[in-house]
Chain A
């Protein structure tokens, strides 16, 4: 610890008294106490907290009596704490066990009442209940000062509070809720089956009668009411789903599955008229009996169902049905692209390590033939995977999306794929050049992947373009420098230097023009 720190600490110690003033105000009677110890003692004696701990069921009456008594007594009875284990302290010689500062009058000195070690006041501010033998006693002990480590190490102390495991409670609650839900769903499905079966039966009964259109509807209406009790109209003022108030334009309707009153606003879709046939088709796993002699396609009855009921019955079924359907073309392509991409990434990282080996190996010329063959094979594989990826991307670009969300997904995949190609083509090119410049030169790059041509600008590879741009930049910089040098040389009347420099400037200009021409479109605008 250097001098500066020590003096800082000392200053802090001097400030402790001022800082802590007002921090230890009793929360009950707002009496100002000097520190935590006194506050605890005050709480115990004046407000009866000690009794509250020892026998927690004391009545409030008794507590308030105690309070008065405590206030009368004022000071507590003398408490004989064991002191034989205390370490001896000397101002200016002993050191605080926590901050290792020499204790003095400004820092104060205290023995931790439990372990007896010496501490400055600042590091002996915790309090705990101790019995006469200086042992921790939560029930009957007296509040005593102690150091932080004694405080933290006392039995039952838990720095982050109490942990209580309530998982079981939660699980119980959750299962019961889930069971409720399941039960409701079963009831709903049961009602649904009864309703549909009844309607189909009525349809069957009236199949041949002439008066069907008149009598059938009333019969169905009556039957629907028997399946589920309809909520009476009088007391319902708003739709139970969207909470809009009913009126002349917004009429009341009953859901035939739960009997609640809902609106049929087209915007909120609270309820809909659904053809019975489509319902039967959608829930084909439910035990719905089509009467034998009924022509299913003739049934034109529709029933009204609220969005909540429809969702609870059909959502899961719809999801399962969609899951079992074959994936759209776009996703099939994407999945194979994805697997290709992961292969590419794995191969590239492997090949990069190998290429590092090749570059080192090319200096010592110690690369075995089998290694070379293996490397070239991996490289060919990589190139093939890349071209496969590219083909898939092109396929994806040309395929037609079925709806707008598919189109969005498609464009996202395309942009992701092009980013992937851009990101990984460069290392690939670098790799190929590293490998060919190494001992693989005899192989003479049998196949350039179709993409490398696709990604070329002006017959230059990305790397070449980058190089040329760098060169052009350097030359332009140098032109500025030389122009500057010419100016200085002329100012200093060193004309022969100026001519030499001018010649050089001319050369630089030519070179820059040459590069700009080479870069063509890819140069700086």
Chain B
């Protein structure tokens, strides 16, 4: 099973952790405490487009608070995908998201990284359209300019969450296969790798130690 590293970035309290929990556990907590440092979760996705191939996301959910900013580079380094989240009711969070995009492009380069811009808290706008502060068109145009994937979602209702990860999964899978195909073309012999799923552990709690 292919594994991909995915990192969530964005201003504090835009709903990064909520999106991840909706995706991984399909649950929503109204009063989630703000994340400390970076949390780790993993989830598998079946790619419908590619004959139900299963891939696995290793998700690093970083804290949005300024204090933890220094941790972020460690997690977006070597990442395959980045989810940059903003809050559709907070224009400031989009500015922050844009600065994250800049930082990623500057430090990582987008040929290695699939970036998806996500506007969260869509449910608030559906209830009352006046609370929307970031127009979908503005964000969409920006995403197109920067060649990012773009979605508006709601972690509370779950709308659009699965779709993001589906699309991201497809993208990273396509890149991976294109890459390996390219390397296979140049070095055909090296493709005969046997991949062992689980690395052996010498843990005493394991029965096959």
- A binding-site residues for B, Cβ under 8 Å: 470-471, 474-475, 477-478, 481-482, 485, 490-491, 493-501, 504, 507-508, 511
- The one of B39, B42, B203, B205 in contact with A497, judged by C-beta atoms closer than 8 angstroms, is B42
Q: Judge whether B42 and A495 touch: CB under 8 Å.
A: no
Given contacts A474-B67, A511-B74, contact A496 B36 (CB under 8 A): no
How far is B67's CA from A471's CA once the two chains are assembled, in angstroms?
Answer: 8
* Interchain CB contact under 8 A, B68 and A495: no
- In chain B, positions 82-126 with a C-beta closer than 8 Å to chain A are none
- Residue-wise, chain B 53-96 has the 8 Å CB interface mask toward A (1 for contact) of 00000100000000110110010000000000000000000000
New A-B contacts (15) at CB < 8 Å, excluding given A490-B205, A491-B205: A474-B70, A475-B71, A477-B36, A477-B37, A481-B36, A481-B39, A482-B40, A490-B203, A493-B206, A495-B199, A495-B206, A498-B201, A501-B40, A507-B74, A508-B74
* Cross-chain contact A475 with B36 (CB below 8 angstroms): no
A-B contact pairs, 10 of them (CB 8 A): A470-B70, A474-B67, A475-B71, A477-B36, A478-B37, A496-B199, A498-B201, A499-B199, A500-B58, A504-B40
Total interface residues in chain B, CB < 8 Å: 20
Contact A485 B40 (CB under 8 A): yes
User: Bound state CA distance, A490 and B201, in angstroms?
Assistant: 10
Judging by beta carbons under 8 Å apart, are A495 and B198 in contact? yes
- DSSP class of A's interface residues: helix, strand, loop or mixed? helix
Known A470-B67, A474-B70; contact A496-B203, beta-carbon cutoff 8 A: no
Q: Which residues of B contact A (CB under 8 A)?
A: 3, 36-40, 42, 58, 67-68, 70-71, 74, 197-199, 201, 203, 205-206
Separation of A139 and B76 alpha carbons in the complex (Å): 94
Contact check, A474 vs B68: say whether CB atoms are below 8 A apart. yes
Chain B residue, CB-CB nearest to A515 = B70
Report whether over half of chain B's contact residues are helix, strand or loop; otherwise say mixed: mixed
Number of A-B contacts (CB under 8 A): 51
Residue ID in chain A nearest B35 by CB atoms: A481
- C-alpha spacing A501/B58, complex, angstroms: 10
The residues of B that contact A474 with a CB separation of less than 8 Å are: 37, 67-68, 70-71
How far is B201's CA from A496's CA once the two chains are assembled, in angstroms? 10
Q: Is the CB of A478 within 8 A of B201?
A: no
A471 CA to B42 CA in the complex, in Å?
Answer: 26
Partner of B70, one of A471, A482, A491, A496: A471
A491 vs B206: C-alpha distance in the bound complex, in angstroms? 9
The residue in chain B whose Cβ has the minimal distance to the Cβ of A501 is B40
Residues in A whose Cβ lies below 8 Å from that of B37: 474, 477-478, 481
| Chain B positions within 8 Å of A477 at CB level | 36-37
Given the complex of chains A and B, what is the CA–CA distance between A490 and B206 in angstroms? 9
When distances are taken between beta carbons in the complex, the residues of chain A under 8 Å from B58 are 497, 500
- Is there an interface contact between B70 and A475, defined as CB atoms closer than 8 Å? yes
B71 touches A495 (CB 8 A): no
Instruction: From the candidates B3, B67, B203, name the one contacting A495 in the complex (CB within 8 A).
Output: B203
Nearest 9 pairs of A and B residues by beta carbon: A478-B37, A471-B70, A481-B37, A495-B201, A500-B58, A485-B40, A477-B37, A474-B68, A497-B42
Smallest beta-carbon distance A491→chain B, Å: 8
List the B side residues contacting A498 at CB < 8 Å. 201
